Amino acid sequence: MLKYQQIAAELEKYIEENELQQGNKLPVLESLMAQFEVSKSTITKALDLLERKGVVFQVRGSGIFVRRHKRKGYISLLSNQGFKKDLEDFQATSKVIELAVKKPTQKAAENLNIGLDDDIYYVKRVRYINEQTLCFEESYYNKTIIPYLNKEIVSESIFHYISEGLGLKIGFSDLFLHVDKLNEEEAEYLGLEKGDPKFCVESIFHLTNGQPFDFSIVTYNYQQAQFFLQANNQLL
């Protein structure tokens, strides 16, 4: 972690621990420079990172303000995507239904950019949050990149294993969201009725070198899963 990233993390922690609210003003640049004993450019980079993350907003000539519009019970659409180890504020567990080396489906092969004869690890899990069924999840891992998985690993955080155990660097992901009706199997896993709404998120995760390594299809229990996302005009 670079210095400016460390400072950004500390500032974020400070905002959380002190429960600062949207619109609360942060100390001026000079105070932050003195507090962290770093240059102006390092503080500026830390604040830019926090702005991109949606933690603060900067008003020219006026200061830096806390941006915080989380709603209780809403899951971050991005931090849920395996980048963070856990779902914030939630007690999350999971049950492994299936773990096997297989050939990919047509769809998985396309999204992982591999052939139909290549091996993948197929993982099917049900995830629980506060002891309710949150979602069920089918994942396809390119076995050339993730050569080994076992039940213990997939019961916990696969992404933690990938980054810490295998030393791979996770770069970016593409998410596709759609809503449909649950079929019988899906309804059973989620404890809902066939025909009930289904909230489906497909994700493709890439290493920093651009290689896709994980294609996942997650079906959420619509009664449990609500998401938030912070957007920034700068980026658009």
CA angle 6, 33, 59 (to 5 degrees): 90
**What is the C-alpha to C-alpha distance for residues 187 and 195, in angstroms, rounded to an integer?**
8
Do the beta carbons of residue 203 and residue 173 sit within 8 Å? yes
Phi and psi dihedrals of 95, rounded to 5? Answer: -125, 130
Binding mask of the shown chain, residues 62 to 101, with x at each position contacting its own copies by CB under 8 A: x--x-x-x-x--x--xxx-x-xx-----------------
β-strand 92-102 against 75-76: which pairing, if any?
A: unpaired
Listed in sequence order, the residues at least 6 apart from 182 whose beta carbon sits closer than 8 Å to its beta carbon are 190, 192, 193, 194, 195, 196, 197, 198, 219
C-beta of 105 vs 226, nearer to its own copies: 226
Please report, as residue ranges, which positions from 45 to 64 form the binding site for its own copies (by CB under 8 A): 49, 52-54, 57, 59-60, 62
Q: How far is the CB of 171 from its own copies (least distance, A)?
A: 5
CB of 66 to its own copies, least distance (A): 9
Residue 164 CB, shortest distance to its own copies, in Å, is: 15
Secondary structure of residue 65 in the 3-state scheme:
strand
Look at the alpha carbons of 99, 141, 167, 43 in this order and tell me if their dihedral is positive or negative.
negative
Cβ distance to its own copies smaller for residue 118 or 196: 196
Contacting its own copies (CB under 8 A), which of 2, 34, 97, 229? 229
Which residue, 17 or 234, is less far from its own copies as judged by CB?
Answer: 234
- Round to whole Å and give the CA distance between 7 and 18: 16
Q: CB-wise, 110 or 118, nearer to its own copies?
A: 110
Find the binding residues for its own copies in span 190-219 (CB under 8 A): 196-199, 204, 206, 208-210
Q: Which stretch binds its own copies (CB under 8 A): 37-45, 89-97, 144-152, 165-173?
A: 165-173
Residues in touch with its own copies (CB under 8 A) = 22-23, 49, 52-54, 57, 59-60, 62, 65, 67, 69, 71, 74, 77-79, 81, 83-84, 170-181, 196-199, 204, 206, 208-210, 220, 222, 225-233, 235-236
